[in-house]
Amino acid sequence: MIFKKANHAYDSTLAIDSVFRVGIFQPIQDVEPSQTRDLQRLGQKGDRMMKLNPSRIKAVSSLPGPQRYSHFIKVAADQNKIWGLFNEGWALAGTDDTNESVFPLWPAAEYAQLCALGEWKDFSPREIDLGTFFEILMPKLRESNTNVAIFPTPEEKGGIPELEQVEADLRTELSRIE
């Protein structure tokens, strides 16, 4: 499946090493510490961290890009959070063909951790609640002309849908849950 962004097409079958470059993107510096939490702090009273077994992680990570996107939307809405990789700034990727910046996102910390290798080996998963995503991160992404890469894996890059589509799909799924 090919995800389209502007006039460019992104094939979801390319390996992450050939598609992404490392970068640091710091779009939410002004976010309160309570709005993004390190993986190490999760599991404390009140946190709803998913606990995924290795076979589940492998099965979901092996899904084709469009199915991973659907999984991302459902899990993100259910958990009311998404995950990025952070190390003194957010991990940022670049597309292979146009070198445009994308902000990679995952539905659970375990999936993000799978991509913390190579140039991202010092990065760790960090939670972003959906309120922060909608109210703070999305406007900053739009302002910097940065899209999101949804659920990349070490073997495949993530889909790169329009920000408006991601927001609409998340809001639709959230309304179904309520």
pLDDT digits (tens, 9 = 90+) for 110-167: 999 999 998 899 999 999 999 999 999 999 999 999 999 999 999 888 889 999 999 9
From 42-46, 107-111, 173-177, the region with the lowest mean pLDDT: 42-46
From 64-78, 91-105, 118-132, the region with the lowest mean pLDDT: 91-105
Predicted pLDDT of residue 52: 83
Q: Please report, for the chain, the start and end positions of each structural domain, with discontinuous segments joined by +.
A: 9-27+35-41+52-177
Determine contact, residues 8/160, Cβ cutoff 8 Å: no
Q: For residue 50, what pLDDT band results from cuts at 50, 70 and 90?
A: low
pLDDT at 58 over 80: yes
Kindly report the average pLDDT of the chain as a whole number. 77
Predicted pLDDT of residue 168: 97
Predicted pLDDT of residue 121: 93
pLDDT at 97 over 90: no
